[in-house]
Amino acid sequence: MKLKLLIVLALILLSGIFEVVKTEIRYVSKTSSSTPPYTSWQTAADSIQKCINICKDGDTVVVANSKYKETLWIDKAILLLGSSIDSTIIDGTGLEARPDDGYTGITVNIKSDVRIENLKIIGKGIFEYIATSVVRAYNYPLKIKYCNISNAFEGVTFSHRSGTAENLFIQNVTNPIEFTCKGDTSYFNINNNLIIMDGDHLNGISNDLGGHAIIHNNVVVSLSHRRSGITADYYIRSADIRNNLITGFQFSSLIFSAIGDSVSINNNIASYTVNIDAFGIELGNGNKVSIRNNIVEENPNGLVIWNGKSNSDYNIYWGNKRNIWLFAKYGLHDIKKDPMFVKDTIPTGDMTFDLHLQKYSPAIDAGDPSILDKDGSRSDIGMYGGPYGESYTYQDLAPKPPANLTARVESNVIFLKWLKSTEADFGYYKVYRDTIPDFIYDSTKAISKTADTLFAEAIPGKGKTYYYKVTAFDKTNHQSPASEEVSVVITGVDKPKLMANDYMLYQNYPNPFNPSTTISYRLKERGKVILSVYDIQGKIVTQLINRLQESGYYEVEFSPDKMPNKTASGLYVFFFSVTDLKGKPVFTDMKKSIYL
* pLDDT single digits (tens) 202-230: 899 999 878 899 999 999 999 888 899 99
Would you list the DSSP string of 204-224?
A: SEEEEE--EEEEES-EEEESS
- In DSSP terms, 482 is beta-bridged to none
CB–CB of 308/373 below 8 Å? no
Q: Which of 18-32, 304-318, 526-540: highest mean pLDDT?
A: 304-318
Res 537 pLDDT > 80: no
- Burial (CB count within 10 angstroms: exposed 0-12, middle 13-18, buried 19+), residue 186: buried
CA distance 533 to 567: 11
* Residues with Cβ within 8 Å of residue 218, at least 6 apart in sequence: 190, 191, 192, 193, 194, 195, 205, 230, 244, 245, 246
pLDDT at 82 over 80: yes
Contact assessment for residue 93 and residue 125, using Cβ atoms and an 8 Å cutoff: yes
Q: Which is more confident, 370 or 8?
A: 370
Domain boundaries, the chain: 76-357, 406-498, 504-595
Q: Are 307 and 286 in contact (CB under 8 A)?
A: yes
* Alpha-carbon separation of residue 211 from 4, 113, 246, 408 (angstroms): 53, 18, 22, 61
Contact 499, 488 (CB under 8 A): yes
Is residue 250 scored above 50 in pLDDT?
A: yes
Q: Does domain 504-595 have CATH number 2.60.40.1220?
A: yes
Find out if CATH 3.40.50.2000 is the number for domain 406-498: no
The 8-class DSSP code of residue 159 comes to E
Rounded to the nearest integer, the mean pLDDT of the chain is 89
The verdict on whether omega for the bond into residue 141 sits within 30 degrees of 0, i.e. cis, is no
Q: Do the domains 406-498 and 504-595 sit in the same CATH topology, yes or no?
A: yes
DSSP one-letter code for 358: B
* Integer angstrom CA distances of residue 576 from 133, 530, 534: 37, 6, 11
Q: Which fold has domain 76-357?
A: Pectate Lyase C-like (2.160.20)
**Which candidate, 148, 57, 165, places its Cα nearest to that of 111?**
57
Provide Rg for the chain, Cα atoms: 29
Cα torsion angle, 392, 393, 397, 399, sign:
positive
For residue 10, pLDDT over 80 is answered with no
pLDDT digits (tens, 9 = 90+) for 69-81: 999 999 999 999 9
Mean pLDDT of 562-582: 81
Mean pLDDT of 326-351: 89
Compute the average pLDDT of residues 76-94. Answer: 95
Q: How far apart are CA 387 and CA 367, in angstroms?
A: 12
CA distance 452 to 561: 39
Please check whether residue 415 is in contact with residue 301, taking contact to mean a CB–CB distance below 8 angstroms.
no
Instruction: State how far the Cα of 171 lies from the Cα of 78, in Å rounded to an integer.
Output: 26
Mean pLDDT for 21-47 is 94
Give residue 305's pLDDT band: very low, low, confident or very high (50, 70, 90): very high
pLDDT category at 245 given cuts 50, 70, 90 is very high
Asked if 21 contacts 1 with a C-beta cutoff of 8 angstroms, the reply is no
At 496 the pLDDT is 53
Q: What is the mean pLDDT of residues 373-401?
A: 96
pLDDT at 244: 97
Determine the distance from the C-alpha atom of residue 475 to the mean position of all C-alpha atoms in its chain, rounded to a whole number: 32
Helix (H, G, I), strand (E, B) or coil at 102: helix
CA–CA separation, 147 and 563 (whole Å): 20
Q: 10: helix, coil or strand?
A: helix
Count CB neighbours of 462 within 10 A: 11
